[in-house]
């Protein structure tokens, strides 16, 4: 194999590996330990859906747009916080045959209880006490709420990293109900609760950016040499 072709192939391989950050549920990187992260989002698992009867399903739920973020309670402490947010997702009214996007404004109340601390890691027991979503693109009278009879519990782990950064790993099992008449009658989901995870996308480190730049330079160098050789052959 020619040396120029080998350089070009190596550059392609290195570039393809490094330029696409991997997705993971491991933790959300933040400059603050406050929760929920203002720019974070909780997402439902890919295969999850909720069924409320009468042919109504929702899936691909994203809970984000948090209006406030709060410091975690001190060791042994407990706090309850309320804030605004938005819920986005896909809804079907024909037994899951077709789906359309929806969004709604949601008021949320969450309790966070300090658990066991170990070194730079703090663990918390959490519970979503209330979520009321309505408006937005939902039809008039349609509302979604966290179940008042089933506890939507979860866990949060905050790890203090070097450089004043934090890794936040958080999830909730959210039981929901839906109303079609403005809250007079509620229909609980007939499927398991949504295991909502705080999502994050890996960001390349400084060293990884260096490798990415090297890959780009290799690609450019290989492309230039190949083009020059083709021009020489044509001439």
**Lowest mean pLDDT across 128-132, 149-153, 169-173, 199-203:** 199-203
pLDDT at 27: 78
Q: Which residue has better confidence, 45 or 5?
A: 45
Q: Which residues contact 66 (CB under 8 A, 6 or more apart)?
A: 36, 37, 38, 40, 83, 84, 85
**Lowest mean pLDDT across 37-41, 102-106, 158-162, 226-230:** 226-230
Whether 47 and 82 have beta carbons less than 8 Å apart is answered as no
Shared-domain flag, residues 14 and 116:
no
Return the DSSP state at 96. Answer: T
Shared-domain flag, residues 29 and 87:
yes
Shared-domain flag, residues 17 and 91:
no
The answer, yes or no, to whether residue 228 has pLDDT greater than 80, is no
For residue 87, which phi and psi values (nearest 5 degrees)? -115, 125
Q: Which residue has better confidence, 214 or 4?
A: 214
The total number of structural domains that make up the chain: 2
Give the 3-state secondary structure of 171-225.
Answer: EEEECEEEECCCCCCCEECCCCCEEEEECEECCCCHHHHHHHHHHHHHHHHHHHH
Cis peptide before 36 (omega within 30 of 0): yes
Shared-domain flag, residues 114 and 38:
yes
Shared-domain flag, residues 163 and 234:
no
**Lowest mean pLDDT across 139-143, 185-189, 199-203:** 199-203
Return the DSSP state at 117. Answer: E
Shared-domain flag, residues 16 and 29:
no
Residue 217: pLDDT band (50, 70, 90) is: low
Which letter, b or e, does each residue of 59-83 get, where b requires 16 or more Cβ atoms within 10 Å of its Cβ?
A: bbbbbbbbeebbebbeeeeebebeb
The answer, yes or no, to whether residue 43 has pLDDT greater than 80, is yes
Whether 152 and 175 have beta carbons less than 8 Å apart is answered as yes
The label of the residue with tokens 């696409």 reads: 20
Give the SS3 label for residue 154.
Answer: strand
> What does DSSP say about strands 78-92 and 57-64: parallel, antiparallel, or unpaired?
antiparallel
Shared-domain flag, residues 197 and 233:
no
Residue 200: pLDDT band (50, 70, 90) is: confident
Q: Is the pTM of this model over 0.85?
A: no
pLDDT at 213: 63
User: Domain containing 81: what range?
Assistant: 22-203
Shared-domain flag, residues 47 and 76:
yes
- pLDDT tens per residue across span 50-97: 999 999 999 999 999 999 999 999 999 999 999 999 999 999 999 999
Shared-domain flag, residues 85 and 179:
yes
Give the SS3 label for residue 166.
Answer: strand
Shared-domain flag, residues 67 and 182:
yes
Shared-domain flag, residues 47 and 86:
yes
Mean pLDDT on 198-220: 59
**Lowest mean pLDDT across 12-16, 33-37, 182-186, 224-228:** 12-16
Shared-domain flag, residues 196 and 220:
no
């Amino acid at each position: 194999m020619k040396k120029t072709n080998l350089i070009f192939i190596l550059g392609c391989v290195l570039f393809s590996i490094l330029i696409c950050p991997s997705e993971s549920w491991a933790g959300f990187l933040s400059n603050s330990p406050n929760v929920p992260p203002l720019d974070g989002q909780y997402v439902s698992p890919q295969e999850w859906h909720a069924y409320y009867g009468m042919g109504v399903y929702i899936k691909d739920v994203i809970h984000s747009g948090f209006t406030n973020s709060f410091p975690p309670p001190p060791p042994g402490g407990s706090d309850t916080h309320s804030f605004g947010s938005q819920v986005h997702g896909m809804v079907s009214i024909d037994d899951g045959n077709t789906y359309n996007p929806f969004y709604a404004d949601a008021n949320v109340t969450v309790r966070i209880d300090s658990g066991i601390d170990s070194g730079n890691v703090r663990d918390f027991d959490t519970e979503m006490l209330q979520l009321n979503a309505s408006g937005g693109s939902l039809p008039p009278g349609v509302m979604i709420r966290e179940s008042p009879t089933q506890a939507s519990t979860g866990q949060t782990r905050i790890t203090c990293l070097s450089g004043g950064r934090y890794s936040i790993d958080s999830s909730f099992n959210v039981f929901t109900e839906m109303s079609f008449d403005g809250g007079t009658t509620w229909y609980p989901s007939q499927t398991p609760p949504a295991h909502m995870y705080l999502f994050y996308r890996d960001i390349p480190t400084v060293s990884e950016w260096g490798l990415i730049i090297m890959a780009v330079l290799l690609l450019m160098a290989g492309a230039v040499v190949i083009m020059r050789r083709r021009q020489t052959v044509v001439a």
